Amino acid sequence: MKKALVIGITGQDGVYLSDFLLKKGYEVIGTFRRTSHRSLERLESFDMIDKVELLKMDLVDDISINKTIKYAQADEIYNLGAQSFVGVSFDQPILTSNINGLGPLRVFETVKELSPHSKLYQASSSEMYGNAPGIKNEKSSFKPRSPYGVAKVFAHNMTNHYREAYDIFASCGILFNHESPLRGIEFVTRQITYRLA
């Protein structure tokens, strides 16, 4: 049985990915950040609470990252964790850079030292392209226009660096906005659909 570690399991993408992996027969370990409010509603809506192992981990905390990756020894690691609001990155650029840029670097460094067999996936973002016109692909230039986008470019480039410098299996997926009933209500599109419904 393959084992997957899903960093950021409580988000929209984490829930859908975990559901997919469980159906393929994976053992799934998921991480979530400790907060003052409960954040497991999406997992509960898919009846997954008892099907995945949940661990508290924070992308700004080296110790929790080290413990989690050492414990999991996962075949595959998916980093979906992030400060996910572009607008907030203007108000909190240092926090955003710490989570979205240095957080993945902490994960990569820990994998290199404690779990080098693990295959890594880093969630990159269309925000790396900024507002540049035209159709984008993997060869398009990055011109980020927000602290969020800049941090994502850093993480994207570090993924490539760790793959090339340390022969680690590491890949990125450049994600554009994607919608579902699980997308947070704080996003504009969900606010519109929620109010219409």
Could you report the per-residue pLDDT of 70-98, keeping only the tens digit for each? 999 999 999 999 998 899 999 999 999 99
pLDDT recorded at residue 191:
55
Local structure of residue 141 (DSSP, 8 states): P
Query: Can you give the pLDDT at residue 132?
Result: 86
3-state secondary structure of 175: strand
Percent of all residues in the chain with a pLDDT value above 90, rounded to a whole number: 73
pLDDT at 35: 61
* Model pLDDT, residue 36: 42
Model confidence pLDDT, tens digit, residues 145-188: 999 999 999 999 999 999 999 999 999 999 987 665 555 555 45
Please give the DSSP secondary-structure letter assigned to residue 82.
-
* Residues 64/67/73/75 CA torsion (nearest 10 deg): 10
pLDDT at 4 over 70: yes
pTM across the whole model: 0.88
The larger pLDDT score, comparing residue 178 to residue 38, is at 178
